[in-house]
Homo-oligomer: A and B are copies of this chain.
Amino acid sequence: MAILDGKGVAAQLREELRQEIALHAVRPPRLDVILVGEEVASSIYVKGKVAACLEVGIEAHVHRHTSEVSQRELLDEIADLNENPFVDGILVQLPLPKGIDERLVTWAVDPAKDVDGFHPMNRGKLLLGEERALFPCTPLAVSELFARYAISTQGKHVVIVGRSDVVGKPLAVLLLQKGMRGNATVTVAHSFTEDLASLSVQADILVAALGRPRFITAPMVKEGAVVIDVGINALVAGQEGERRKIVGDVDYVEVAKKCSWITPVPGGVGPMTIAMLLSNTWKAYRSHL
């Protein structure tokens, strides 16, 4: 078993981006983040994103709002950012407070600045295999990890567990497309899937993205498979007799003994996802200019 070192690859990616931006940008690319409410997790995520931006030479502006902000105010702010020629990327940190329509707000972002790849125009281009578009960061993160480790998906059977809009569905589409980074046979499984283990055990590449701690156990994994763990689950202190910690959707210790490659949690897909956000912002900058 060998580790897919997302943390290390992400650092390398950031360094490459930093050099490219330093070399080619006529002004600093700029990412604007809209952050609503006081959720601690959201604040931590945004902090991480901002720090990553600064590291590579992307200007980051955070627009903070209390959870009392109205939908109208958010839409007006997005409209302003859409029109601002110095803003390359716009990111609305989710979740938004109850009473605010997340689709309405995220879909208000100009598709050309939609660095989270949430807009239907970008999703449609993803489904149609059109590359001049912005795609969601986690699927891109997984694809980029494969590319960096020269793990070919061509003709491989990829089983994705989870059908979310953020990971499962767009990743399935990405790996299914024609081309060097696609050409996989893809199965998407989820809560309705009968006998999941009999499917997952067939996977050459198994992607766990369902959000349940250590759900994928060793008997569900084929000997020599590549295992990608997208899960980020916080175990509270005392739960399962452990101290507070972050675990993935894969039972890492047991599965690692069996597979050829595995992503750790933390330090796997997570840091890659942030790196792809930077990469998307740079892509948006280049297509605007």
Contacts and interface: CB of A to CB of B under 8 A. Distances in A.
A192 B154 contact: yes
B176 A185 contact: no
A13 B173 CA distance: 32
Nearest to A204: B194
A176 to B, nearest CB: 6
A186 B192 CA distance: 11
Contacts of A128: 103, 120, 123, 165
Contacts of A186: 187-188
Contact of A190 (B165, B169, B185): B185
Given A185-B190, A185-B193, A103 B127 contact: no
Contacts of A213: none
Contact of A124 (B127, B155, B163, B172): B127
A165 B128 CA distance: 6
A119 interface: yes
Contact of A120 (B121, B177, B183, B185): B121
A103 B130 contact: yes
A206 to B, nearest CB: 14
A170 interface: yes
A243 B106 CA distance: 56
Nearest to A185: B193
Contact of A155 (B129, B187, B192): B192
A288 interface: no
B169 A127 contact: yes
Contacts of A172: 172, 176, 188
A196 to B, nearest CB: 9
A185 B157 CA distance: 14
Contact of A129 (B165, B173, B189, B193): B165
A125 B165 CA distance: 11
A102 to B, nearest CB: 11
A129 B285 CA distance: 29
Nearest to A163: B176
A73 B119 CA distance: 30
A250 interface: no
Interface of A: 103, 119-130, 133, 154-155, 157, 163, 165, 169-170, 172-173, 176-178, 183-190, 192-194, 199
List of 10 A-B pairs having minimum Cβ-Cβ separation, nearest first: A120-B124, A124-B124, A123-B124, A187-B187, A185-B193, A183-B192, A155-B192, A123-B127, A120-B125, A127-B127
Given A124-B124, A186-B187, 11 more contacts: A119-B124, A120-B121, A120-B125, A123-B123, A169-B176, A172-B172, A172-B188, A176-B188, A176-B190, A185-B189, A185-B199
